[in-house]
Each structure stands twice: as C-alpha cells, then as structure tokens.
Structure 1
Amino acid sequence: MEEFVRGMPKIELHAHLNGSLTTNMLEELAETKFGLGSPECEFYKEKIADLRNFSSKNLSECFKIFKISHELITNLDLLKKATLLVIQKFHLDNTVYLEIRTTPKRCKEFTKLQYLETIIDSIKESQSTYPEITVKLLPSFDRARGILDAEETLEVISQLIGKFPNTIVGLDISGDPSAGCFKDYKPLLIKAKLLGLRLALHCAEIDGIEDETREMIEFGMDRMGHGTFIKDENLDLLKKNDICVECCLTSNIKCGTVKNYDDHHFNEMFFQHKIPVVICTDDCGVFDTDLSKEILYAVDTFGLDKFDLFNLCKLGIKYSFTSDETKAIITNRVSAYFQNCKF
C-alpha cells in the first residue's frame, strides 16, 4: 500500500507556507542569508537542530516554531526561494494540486503587496519547472495580529485579485485560536466574498468555544480547517451546510489537541457521519511529515482501502478552489491511476 500511496496523485488543501519548510530547507535559507560557516548561520543551525526533536504537546509551543522562518525570510529573494522549495517538496510527493496559505507580512525589505506578488511570481515560475502540479494561493488573516492588520491585508488582496484571479482563490483565518473574536472579522469576510474569494477558515481547533464555532458555521464557509472539537448540534449543522473538513492528523497530535491517531475525528466524520473530509498536512516541515505519510497513517489506523482513497481524492477535487476545467483535468489523472489498480 505504501508504494501505491506514494505514487498516487494527491490533493493538498491545507498547507501553510512557512510551516511547510523542513529543517533542511531552513538550513538552506540560513546558509543563503548569512553564508555557510558564518556565526549567524551556525547560530540558526543550532536552533533548527532543536526542531528535529520537536515533541511538544502544546498548541502555543507549536506557534513559536514559526518564529525561525519569519526571522530567516527577510528579503524577497529568500521568500521566493522558500516558496519554490515548498512547491518542489509537494511535487516530489506526487501532489497534483496544492493550495498554499500564508499571512502577508511586511518588514524593512518588503511590503505586504510585494510579499504576495513574490509568492505569485514564484507560483507562476514553478508551473514551468513542475508542470504536473497546479498551485493556488490563499492569503490569511492572523487572529493574533488583530483586525487592523486584517483590513490592511484585504486591501492588498483587492489590489491583486483582479490581476491574478486564477491564483488568489480563497481566504483563511488562522493563528492562535484563543486570540480575537470571529465576529470582528465578519465585515471583512463579507467583502472578501464580494471579491470572489472562497473561505477556508480554521475553526474548532480548541475546546470550549462552541458558540463561536456555531457562529462561524452559520456565517458560512466553504471548508473548515481542523474542526477538532465539532460536536453535537454543531456537527449536525456542519453536515447540513455541506462544509468540507480539512483533517490534519499529525499536526493535531503533535499540538496536543488529539491524543493519538486512533482518537482522531477523521474516523467519525468520514465513516460514521459521512461528512466530506480531506487529509492534509497543515505544517509538514514543522511536524516532519508529508501528504503520503498522513494518508498512510489513516490507512494503518482506520483501515482505509483503495476505494476509500479514491473517494478522498474525489472529495479533495470537489472542494478545491479551482476551476471546473482544472478539476476535470485532475479527475482524469486520478481516475487513470486508480483504474490501473484492483479495488
């Protein structure tokens, strides 16, 4: 089964740019930024080495890891390099469709506009290098940065979406789920919808926020990130509204929101409640995984067979934020692969 999954055309709908940088990629960025063997490079390599033994079961600790990539990516050349490295990683894992999400940032060397333009340029460049993978972009609001930062981000998106409507396809709200209130972002999300953006929102990542979860579901989203603590009436509402859940198995376990693979809500949603779900990596670099590994964890834990995998691929295509034409092309590729196997 491992060989089959590795070769399978895959769809990734929940991948954060910075979190997808592996430790080897971070070392490569440090060498590019500071020079091989320099004191600064060696300093960051020591910090990066600590990530290889990352085993925290705390969501707050997980967010601290992103600080390293933020410190390293301080100019547009490094941002471009990071984006291309991430796309290459997914390509090598036979991902045929990838949605990258990232919170636009600014520093002394670039503006938010330049940040997004550079990622878009990198995506376009990757299409000639890796024509087998289609890549789309979902800018994010970071709850920890507040509403004013989100307003600025949406203004930048509005300047770009007219020029790149087939690249910028959606919007996310991510970051520390305990920060801020969802209701404050509603006016901006309404504007985002008017711009033609689809919504893939982090939701129900932590327990005890059932009221906000219901508010988010009722507001409307196309896909839900994680959905770890969806239960009771909210679970029924989720199914009624046909919202696809992006399940990130290893991420949830390493962040401590799920005890182990056996307890992951993917099983209940996919088999018992028949809720549309997709398997995603979230932050494959931080959590030392890839999409093939995540699928194989589900195979080993929940007994998925090739028919289940085919259905998951079809769900990924159906709920992706791309054109019907692209969906048809990907469907043909996936179907051709599965037609050569025995169910």
Structure 2
Amino acid sequence: MERGGDVAEMKEWCRSIPKIELHAHLNGCIRDSTLLELAKVLGEKGIINFADVEHVIRKCGRSLSECFQLFDLFHILATDHGTISRITKEVVEDFAADEVVYLELRTTPKNNETKGMTKRSYMKAVIDGLRSVDALNVSFSNSSERTENISSSTQNNYANCMERKTIHIRLLLSIDRRETTIAAMETVCLALELREFGVVGIDLSGNPIVGEWKTFLPALKYAKEQGLSVTLHCGEVSNKKEIQEMLDFVPERIGHACFLDKDDWEKARVLQIPVEICLTSNLRTERLSTIDLHHFANLHKGNHPLVLCTDDTGLFSTTLSNEYYLAAATFGLDQKDVLRLATNAIEFVFGGSEVKKALRGIFGDSARKLAEVFPSWKSLGGEDVKVQIKSLR
C-alpha cells in the first residue's frame, strides 16, 4: 500500500465494506458538533467554564489528559433524558453512514435524583432515541426481527422504508467498576426486563484501577445464568490476578486485553474467547507506545477470534472504517484480509442466530457489489464472490 492509488483504494475499501461494531460506548461516541453545542449551553448556565473545554472539543487527536477532560463533560451531559435520546439517535446515524450494519451499543444506566433520572428512565431515553431515527430502518427488538420504525399506515410509507438503509442494533448495559454489588445486580435485573427492547448482554467497564472483581462477580454470574451474554474490559492495566479470574469466568468476549501475559493468552486461546480490539483507543490512552507493538498482530497471525472496534468514536476522533484501514496499513493486510476480519465478526455478535443469518445475507449481497466497483475484485463476479464470502466465515 505504498503507492498513492493503493492507499486510496484501501481506504475506500475499508469505508465501503459492511462492518460490525461490538465495542462502542454511547456517550463516548457523541458528535463533536453536538458536544460543542451542548457545552456552550452548560457554559451559559454557569455549570461549566466553556473556555476550559472548547479547544479540547475542537481538537482532533486528543491526549490522554484531554480525554479525561471530556469524560467529565460526558458525565454531566448524561443526566438529561432529552440529551441521551438525541445522542443515541445521532450515534446510530453516524455508524450507519460508516456502513456499519450491526451495532452493539453499550451504556451505563444512570441514577440522578436531582434530574428525576433513574436507571430505568435513562434506558427509556436510549430506547426513545433508537425509535426516533427516521432516516434509517432500525431493527433492535429481540421479540421479532421486524424493523422497529417502519410506519404501516400506508403501502407507500412501507415501500419508502424498504428502500432505506437498515441497521441492526443491540444494547449492552454496563456495570461501572465504581458500583456496589447491589447496584451491579440492579443493572443486570434491568437488562433482563428490557430484553424485548434489544438488550442482549452485560459489560463490565469503568476506571480499571477502581473496584475489585469479587464485587461484580455475583451479578455477572447471575447474568450468565439468565442467558445474558457478558463481555468484560479485561487487562486494560497490569493486574495478573484479576485477568486470570476474568478468564476463568469465561466471558463471551473481552475488550482491549492490553496486558495479558503469555499464559493468559494461552488460556484465552484454549477457551476461544474473542477479543474486541480498539487500536486508536489503546494508542490514545497510552496502553502501548506505538501501534506497531499492538497484540493485534500476534492474534491475527494465530487466527485467534477477534473483532476491530472503535471504543469511543467521538472521544478518539475515529470511525470503524478508520480502524480497519489502520490495521491494514500497520500490519500489511490486503483487501481479502480486511473483508475476512469484517465477515468473521458475524460469529461474535450477541444478537442471536436470526441476526447472524441476516448479516450473512448482507455481507454476501455487498460482496457482489464490491466486485463490480473495485479493480482487484472484478474477476470475482456473481456466484464466485458468494463462494468467497462463504469461505471467509
């Protein structure tokens, strides 16, 4: 990819292929323009000093300390129901514009008595945000595979909806590491209540140096027993004991995994635990000194199950297309490698067998179209491309 044409084609390839996002935090994916607008309002109300954050919001490629500044701002914004609905709507639209066809959106339900917010009302605001998307067909219900926002009032309305892009959404409720065992259990119980609205799993996240694994284990065990999938932020910092305990729990996926030792990786390999890889995030948060040292290389070479993700598109100024291009440019992947990575992610979604079936159809249809556009794939027309996609799974 040294030649300019090759670089441009690979970037366009990464943008054009259908993609699956499995590690995206709702509040960290807020648009910069929306963040700037809302921060101005907070400044006018005297809640924050707008001058302290304006330059950080406008900046692309933020430092770790600047990211922490925005984390604080996110927490303030997440106390308003209308804001949460708006952010949710815009995040879905932005991922769809990046050719993401399946999105697992994770968020920590918030309690804020002064704002009249409970964990349940917070999640209602998220679901209202999904329902308010009107430029796309949004499928998020676990009770059926119908698109949730198709108007059935007239045949014409239905036909118009069918012409629009469809994105499948599922929700993960996050347990914050600052929470108690009781609070963690409340989040799991809420997830069970909201299954019919697209909640499929539980995430453990937050400041990795806060809290102890044993605090969250009862709630995570209960989630598993009740059929919820579990993903864990694992190995964001060096903590051998916790990493081993997390792997022994055998979660359905782990995120980041920057500080696993050789024996930890061997256990993860034996258990075939998929890893959510967030390249830009790991670089920005200084989990590694250079992207070339990322564990993606060894995992990809060893055929370990993995999926490329963004973590926080807004916070880290990235897109899923950019993460795929970054992997390709850094580790020498070709178009087939990139498409294989994207296709393999189907097997790691928490959405269930019907969703996986739908996604395979989407990828198959897309591959045929890609073969007509990209020179290096023109020889793979019609049924040959369909066979190629099947071989990638």
- Structure 2 length-normalised TM: 0.79
The correspondence for 1:232, drawn from 242, 262, 281, is 262
1:59-138 aligned at under 5 Å gives the runs 62-107=67-112, 108-109=114-115, 110-126=117-133, 127=138, 128=149, 131-138=165-172
Alpha-carbon contact 1:141-1:172 (below 8 Å) kept:
yes
Residue deviations 1:65-110 (CA, integer Å, cap 9, x gap): 2211221233211110011111111111111110010111021221
Alpha-carbon contact 1:103-1:142 (below 8 Å) kept:
yes
The correspondence for 1:202, drawn from 210, 233, 256, is 233
The correspondence for 2:21, drawn from 12, 21, 38, is 12
Q: Secondary structure at the match of 1:119?
A: helix
Please, which runs of 5 or more residues in structure 2 have no aligned partner? 1-9, 139-148, 150-160, 372-376, 381-393
Give the drift of 1:338.
2.5
- Is 2:336 the partner of 1:307? yes
Equivalent residue, structure 1, for 2:390: none
Bigger Rg over Cα: 2
Distance 2:18 2:236 in 1: 28
Distance 1:156 1:44 in 2: 35
Q: Secondary structure at the match of 1:177?
A: coil
The correspondence for 1:158, drawn from 184, 189, 192, is 192
Distance 1:38 1:204 in 2: 40
Q: Secondary structure at the match of 2:13?
A: helix
Alpha-carbon contact 1:206-1:228 (below 8 Å) kept:
yes
Residue deviations 1:124-161 (CA, integer Å, cap 9, x gap): 34323875211110000010233333133223333333
User: Identity of paired residues, percent?
Assistant: 36
Amino acid at match of 1:81: R
- Is 2:356 the partner of 1:327? yes
Give the drift of 1:235.
0.5
Q: Secondary structure at the match of 1:169?
A: strand
Amino acid at match of 1:8: I
Out of 43-52 and 227-236, give the one that drifted further.
43-52
Amino acid at match of 1:174: S
Amino acid at match of 2:20: I
Distance 2:83 2:255 in 1: 28
Give the drift of 1:318.
0.4
Distance 1:74 1:49 in 2: 23
- Is 2:182 the partner of 1:148? yes
Equivalent residue, structure 2, for 1:288: 317
- Is 2:139 the partner of 1:139? no
Larger relative contact order, structure 1 or 2 (CA cutoff 8 Å, min sep 6): 1
- Is 2:287 the partner of 1:278? no
Give the drift of 1:248.
0.3
Give the drift of 1:118.
1.7
Q: Secondary structure at the match of 2:314?
A: coil
- Is 2:252 the partner of 1:218? no
- Is 2:215 the partner of 1:184? yes
**Cα–Cα, structure 1 residues 264 and 116, in superposed 2: closer, same or farther, change >3 Å?**
same
Give the drift of 1:121.
2.7
Distance 1:181 1:49 in 2: 36
Distance 1:238 1:73 in 2: 35
Alpha-carbon contact 1:136-1:168 (below 8 Å) kept:
yes
Across the aligned residues of Structure 1 and Structure 2, the Cα RMSD in angstroms comes to: 2.2
Give the drift of 1:39.
6.1
**Cα–Cα, structure 1 residues 295 and 152, in superposed 2: closer, same or farther, change >3 Å?**
same
Alpha-carbon contact 2:17-2:339 (below 8 Å) kept:
no
Residue deviations 1:245-282 (CA, integer Å, cap 9, x gap): 000000000000011221111111111x2211111000
**Cα–Cα, structure 1 residues 68 and 278, in superposed 2: closer, same or farther, change >3 Å?**
same
Alpha-carbon contact 1:27-1:45 (below 8 Å) kept:
no
Give the drift of 1:284.
1.0
Alpha-carbon contact 2:31-2:90 (below 8 Å) kept:
no
Alpha-carbon contact 2:180-2:215 (below 8 Å) kept:
no
Distance 1:287 1:28 in 2: 19
Alpha-carbon contact 1:80-1:119 (below 8 Å) kept:
yes
Q: Secondary structure at the match of 2:231?
A: strand
Give the drift of 1:64.
4.5
